Amino acid sequence: MLKKFLVFSLLVFLLSGTCYALEFSADTIMTYKGEGKTTGKIYYKSDRFRMDMKSPEQMIMITRMDKKVIWNIIPAEKMYMELPFDIKNRPMVDEKFEGEIERKQVGNEIIDGHPCKKYLITYKSDNKKHQVYQWWATDINFPVKTAATDGSWVQEYKNIKVGTQADSLFEPPKGYKKFQFPGGMNMMDFK
């Protein structure tokens, strides 16, 4: 589950920079070929975002670019882990996909009630070229769906509600204990 959560977190992180000024909440669905679905909720504000995931147990990740920190929260244990966030890895503020080499519009569709331009995007990651389809909602200026061209995964936002998000969503819950692995190890050491 942690691997799926980290992959999903990275994908949201790479894609969400495109809506840097937009505040919203949405349901998220990440589908992995042969592995099922991970569902959750995302809350986004200019310099922070929160993801609540259920698969099979609840996990919450809060990224605070302003504080240069990521909090991984485990509600069942009433604890959280703090990890550093390097501000130079902040998401991009324009429409480009991280590592994008080429973007071609291949159609127009309606996704979850939003008029979208469908793009074929070629990008480079780890010195390899990859391709994804992206459905860019023109009414909210945000990618509501992204899918690997090989069908291995699909990431979608549904029930998007644009509006102010409460600051309290982006803090560890009161009464939760900060957890640290002995010897300074952290969850990223287990990837």
Mean pLDDT, 10 residues at a time, the chain of 191 residues: 44 46 87 88 90 84 91 93 72 62 96 96 91 92 91 93 94 91 50 39
Tokens of 100: 């994008």
Q: Give residue 126's pLDDT.
A: 87
Domain ranges of the chain: 2-183
Q: Is 2-183 in CATH node 3.30.70.20?
A: no
The separation between the first and the last C-alpha atoms of the chain, rounded to the nearest angstrom, is 11
Task: Using a cut of 0.85, tell me whether the model's pTM lies above it.
Answer: no
Q: What is the pLDDT of residue 36?
A: 85
Instruction: Report how far Cα 83 is from the mean position of its chain's Cα atoms.
Output: 17
**Pairwise CA distance, residues 9 & 89, whole Å:** 13
Cβ contact 88:111 at 8 Å: no
For residue 182, the model assigns a pLDDT of 60
What local confidence, expressed as pLDDT, does residue 15 receive? 45
Q: Which residues contact 130 (CB under 8 A, 6 or more apart)?
A: 122, 123, 124, 148
